Structure 1
Amino acid sequence: MAEGTDTPTVILSHAAAALRESPFDDISYRSLGDAVGVSERTVYRHFPTRSHLLEGVAGWIESTVFPLPPFVTIPEFREASRARFAAFDASPAFAFVCARAASISPTGEPEPSYFTRVLVAMLATNYPSVNGRDLRRVAATLRYFASAQFWARMRTGFDMSAPAIGDVFERTASQVLGDLVGVTEADRAAERASG
């Protein structure tokens, strides 16, 4: 491995590449170390458990393969989520790894993710009279319904494609946003017009 290279990132990129040929459970720490040019111990130092490795690979995949398109408004968020569902359909093996990682116990920081903070900020801008706790609750709901985990459940449980999953997402988002306390009738009309 070249000097100055970020070892954890290289390990994660090699793990993601290995997913093209093997299921996650068949990827060994030894094979990752060999592919990266480090010892198996080094891989363990950066990812002490399989859960840490899975979470890391999923994060790497989400940021490189499935980045959420930028958004500021609620209609832009809806469109970004639909685009992401299409990306999940295009690379289902990677999307299922992200969904699996979301279903394990968290190993990372208890801080809200960047995605959650962006959703809260977007909601606070659109619904300034709603309290912070409700904004975080709605943001968490929207985050789940825009996730690989939701996509995987709809894909495997109901054999839905990205457009159909996007329709379910739209109905759910409309319901959740429509139930916000302090939402005016003008806000609801704008939501219906955009969706």
Structure 2
Amino acid sequence: MAETVDTPTAILASAAASLREHTFDDISYRSLGDAVGVSERTIYRQFPTRSHLLEGLALWLEETEFPLPAFVTIPQFQAATRQRFIDFDGSPAFAFVCARAASISPTGEAEPTFLTRTVEAMLQTSYPSIDARDLRRVSATLRYFSSAQFWARMRTGFDMSGPEISDVFDRTVGQALGRLTSASKTADTMTTSSKPSDAA
């Protein structure tokens, strides 16, 4: 009995293979169809626009080429991100596609990604009293500074390597969390000072 072919995955794998020799803009739907053994119309059914293809390819590359190792604590998250930046250095064509896709509006339903939910859970565990506004703000900061988009900006704008970009990331994490700690201390001080005095 023949195995059923997962057409979208085959298309994305073929597009990824093409990135080894061509830029994303040079990959045509016709060439993808020929490589996968389906019609160009089938490619369009799966990915109606090039934005859909770019977004699908970036998500697939993030999962297959750049999976973020599991983390629970902030130091584990920093170590996972450091490894990811080194992996981006090893496959820059793939990483630049991920970075480019992050700059377009999502074509699907915008819901929190697994990474967003994991970062938020990590922050809530590390800072149990964090409020919703700070959670969103710090989570968005950590997400951006651990992304392919940030890596690409540092790589092209400052000619930095993965380890150098990791150093910038670590300093940013320290600043973002330092503000959280300061805000938490301020809130604790205000709570303590608003309690009635026993000296009455």
Moved more, 98-107 or 143-152: 98-107
- Structure 2 counterpart of 1:65: 65
- Structure 2 counterpart of 1:7: 7
**Offset of 1:3 from its aligned partner?**
4.5
- Structure 2 counterpart of 1:172: 172
Cα distance in 2, alignment partners of residues 47 and 62 from structure 1: 18
Cα distance in 2, alignment partners of residues 74 and 41 from structure 1: 46
- Structure 1 counterpart of 2:37: 37
- Structure 2 counterpart of 1:20: 20
Residue 51 of structure 2 aligns with an amino acid whose one-letter code is S
1:127–1:183 contact (8 Å) kept in structure 2 = no
Cα distance in 2, alignment partners of residues 183 and 114 from structure 1: 30
Give 3-state SS (helix, strand or coil) of 1:182's partner.
Answer: helix
1:89–1:162 contact (8 Å) kept in structure 2 = yes
Give 3-state SS (helix, strand or coil) of 1:66's partner.
Answer: coil
Cα distance in 2, alignment partners of residues 21 and 120 from structure 1: 38
Residue 64 of structure 2 aligns with an amino acid whose one-letter code is T
Residue 161 of structure 1 aligns with an amino acid whose one-letter code is S
Cα distance in 2, alignment partners of residues 183 and 63 from structure 1: 38
Moved more, 125-134 or 22-31: 125-134
Residue 119 of structure 2 aligns with an amino acid whose one-letter code is L
Cα distance in 1, alignment partners of residues 34 and 140 from structure 2: 39
Superposition TM-score, scaled by structure 2 size: 0.88
Residue 168 of structure 1 aligns with an amino acid whose one-letter code is V
**Offset of 1:109 from its aligned partner?**
1.8
Superposition TM-score, scaled by structure 1 size: 0.90
RMSD: 1.3
1:155–1:161 contact (8 Å) kept in structure 2 = yes
Gaps of 5+ in 2: 187-200
- Structure 2 counterpart of 1:123: 123
Cα distance in 2, alignment partners of residues 108 and 78 from structure 1: 29
- Structure 1 counterpart of 2:140: 140
Give 3-state SS (helix, strand or coil) of 1:140's partner.
Answer: helix
Which is higher, the Rg of structure 1 or of structure 2?
A: 2
Q: What does 1:80-159 correspond to in 2, within 5 Å?
A: 80-159=80-159
Residue 138 of structure 2 aligns with an amino acid whose one-letter code is V
Cα distance in 1, alignment partners of residues 109 and 143 from structure 2: 17
Cα distance in 2, alignment partners of residues 17 and 173 from structure 1: 35
- Structure 2 counterpart of 1:75: 75
Matched, 1:182 2:184: yes
Cα distance in 1, alignment partners of residues 115 and 105 from structure 2: 19
Moved more, 161-170 or 132-141: 132-141
Give 3-state SS (helix, strand or coil) of 2:184's partner.
Answer: coil
Moved more, 104-113 or 61-70: 104-113
Gaps of 5+ in 1: 185-195
